[in-house]
């Protein structure tokens, strides 16, 4: 277990992240989760988790200058809260408060200037919903919505950059009458927001639904968000996360592997790269190659598909979009087509890109895709005489392999 309580003492008012595996129910039980608690509740939280069969894999004091808060699970999983230092997404824009200094190289740069935990669970920012619309078409499986919040008027202003997450605290109380805990969502908008005004944030949320004892259970926060009306007030925390930040280099290559709502950060990257109003405002003239592998169960479940098709038609030399539609397409073994099958199909090109030190890989979505991607990369690497089990840690160390899954 990784434990970093730093200078904690009985009068300490800081918050802590407790990273847990195997806690919860059903699908969620598999995932790594992060609980943010004040120092005074640290011991009782650890005892409760242990009693309920959770395995605590890390405890980190949250330091405002480091990545912490309700850090996205995969960020906490891969990098101790105090040990970040990777690709800075900085740029020469007017919003210098959220901008990292321009690095000499495209990676291994301090993230000290990236905003984290501006608003904590005890005193969240209250944002206003400005829009909430469905992202899926007729015949899609389930509900996935795009929801935007106005962040104007915060003191301090809640600012974020592409690749970060925010926390949402749903209204109401849990079965014990306690206020609900926050849930983390990857941000789907750029720092300028969808309307370019610089004070909104957008999320891409699937309503969680599962069966228990013959009954359909709806996820508390995802249902709260999918049902919410414009004008509603919502408690927001964060931002958090430094695992999924874009490199600063305008000539970087970016390979994106997304399943379902794991597309959220990729949508922000692609807007930053190819959306005309965004390009004009951000002054970041992306000239590298971006390649998105998107996994969805059915065609109407492809999220932001028209935007990505448009970018591909407008920037054919810079953007490639490859889909794996699991319940409509088959892989070579006759099974469901997953993104790892697409990775295998294009193994040569992907490895040629990875050999270039300017190439970064981002993976976001279902944790279950990680072994499949690893397997595909192992096969593809072996075909080139390379050993993936050595290459992957080297890419991670060079801060070119970015994973956020749960």
Which residues contact ligand NAP (rule: CB under 6 A)? 72, 74, 186, 206, 259-262, 264, 295-297, 301, 326-327, 336, 338-340, 364-366, 368-369, 372, 404-406
Give the DSSP letter string of 237-273: EEEE--TTPPPS-TT-EEEEEEEGGGGHHHHHHHHHH
For residue 51, the minimal CB distance to ligand NAP (Å) is 25
Residues 6+ apart with CB under 8 A from 13: 38, 39
Distance, C-alpha 343 to centroid of its chain? 21
- The residue from 77, 162, 399, 404 that is catalytic is 404
Q: Is 406 a catalytic residue?
A: yes
For ligand NAP, give the closer residue by CB, 46 or 258: 258
List the structure tokens of 26.
């059903």
Select from 146, 95, 131, 395 the least CA-distant residue to 267. Answer: 146
List the structure tokens of 336.
């469901």
Distance, C-alpha 239 to centroid of its chain? 11
CA distance 183 to 203: 12
For ligand NAP, give the closer residue by CB, 76 or 296: 296
Q: Is 404 a catalytic residue?
A: yes
State which H helix or E strand residue 310 sits in: helix 305-314
For ligand NAP, give the closer residue by CB, 339 or 391: 339
For ligand NAP, give the closer residue by CB, 98 or 405: 405
Q: Are strands 125-134 and 55-61 parallel, antiparallel or unpaired?
A: unpaired
For residue 155, the minimal CB distance to ligand NAP (Å) is 28
Q: Is 186 a catalytic residue?
A: yes
CA distance 35 to 20: 8
Give the DSSP letter string of 268-307: HHHHHHH-HHHHHHH-----S-EEEEEEESSGGG-TTHHH
State which H helix or E strand residue 129 sits in: strand 125-134
Residue 228 — left, alpha, or beta (φ > 0 → left; ψ -120 to 50 → alpha)? beta
- The residue from 165, 186, 222, 326 that is catalytic is 186
Lookup result for tokens 């070579």: 332
- The residue from 160, 165, 364, 399 that is catalytic is 364
For residue 140, the minimal CB distance to ligand NAP (Å) is 8
For residue 12, the minimal CB distance to ligand NAP (Å) is 29
Q: Where are the alpha helices (DSSP H) in 116-234?
A: 220-227
- The residue from 185, 311, 338, 362 that is catalytic is 185
φ and ψ of 241, to 5 deg: 100, 130
Residues 6+ apart with CB under 8 A from 192: 198, 278, 281, 282
For residue 266, the minimal CB distance to ligand NAP (Å) is 10
For ligand NAP, give the closer residue by CB, 228 or 369: 369
For residue 44, the minimal CB distance to ligand NAP (Å) is 27
For residue 301, the minimal CB distance to ligand NAP (Å) is 5
For ligand NAP, give the closer residue by CB, 336 or 396: 336
Cβ-closest residue to ligand NAP? Answer: 260
List the structure tokens of 262.
């794991």
Cross-strand partners of 150 = 128, 200
For ligand NAP, give the closer residue by CB, 61 or 302: 302
For ligand NAP, give the closer residue by CB, 34 or 46: 34
Cα torsion at 185, 186, 190, 195 (round to 10°)? -30
For residue 388, the minimal CB distance to ligand NAP (Å) is 17
Q: Which residues are catalytic?
A: 185-186, 364, 404, 406
């Amino acid at each position: 277990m990784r434990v970093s309580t730093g200078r904690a003492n009985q009068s300490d008012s800081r918050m802590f992240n407790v990273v847990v595996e195997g806690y919860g129910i059903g699908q969620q039980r598999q995932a790594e989760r992060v609980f943010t608690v004040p120092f005074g509740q640290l011991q009782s939280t650890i005892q409760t988790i242990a009693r309920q069969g959770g395995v605590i894999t890390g405890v980190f004091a949250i330091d405002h200058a480091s990545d912490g808060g309700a850090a996205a699970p995969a960020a906490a999983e891969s990098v101790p809260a105090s040990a970040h230092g990777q690709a800075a997404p900085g740029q020469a824009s007017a919003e210098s408060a959220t901008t990292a200094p321009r690095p000499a190289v495209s990676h291994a740069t301090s993230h000290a200037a990236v905003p984290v935990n501006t608003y904590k669970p005890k005193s969240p920012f209250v944002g206003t919903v400005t829009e909430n619309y469905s992202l899926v078409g007729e015949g899609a499986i389930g509900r996935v919505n795009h929801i935007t919040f106005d962040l104007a008027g915060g003191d301090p202003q809640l600012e974020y950059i592409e690749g970060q997450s925010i926390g949402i605290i749903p209204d109401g109380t849990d079965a014990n009458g306690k206020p609900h805990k926050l849930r983390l969502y990857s941000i789907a908008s750029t720092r300028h927001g969808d309307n370019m005004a610089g004070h909104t944030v957008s999320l891409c949320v699937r309503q969680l639904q599962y069966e228990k004892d013959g009954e359909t259970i709806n996820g508390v926060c995802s249902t709260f968000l999918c049902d919410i009306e414009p004008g509603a007030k919502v408690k927001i925390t964060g931002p958090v996360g430094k695992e999924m930040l874009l490199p600063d280099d305008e000539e970087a290559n970016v390979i994106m592997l997304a399943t379902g709502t794991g597309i959220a950060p990729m949508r922000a990257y692609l807007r930053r790269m190819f959306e005309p109003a965004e390009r004009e405002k951000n002054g970041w003239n992306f000239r590298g190659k971006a390649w998105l592998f998107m996994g969805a169960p059915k065609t109407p479940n492809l999220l932001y598909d028209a935007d990505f098709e448009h970018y591909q038609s407008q920037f054919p030399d810079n953007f490639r979009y490859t889909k794996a539609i699991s319940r409509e397409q088959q892989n070579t073994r006759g099974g469901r087509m997953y993104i790892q099958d697409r990775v295998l199909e294009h193994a040569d090109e992907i490895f040629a890109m990875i050999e270039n030190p300017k190439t970064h890989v981002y993976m976001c979505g279902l944790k279950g895709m990680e072994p499949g991607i690893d397997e595909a990369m192992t096969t593809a690497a072996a075909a080139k005489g390379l050993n993936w089990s050595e290459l992957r840690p080297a890419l991670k160390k060079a801060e070119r392999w970015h994973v956020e899954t749960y």
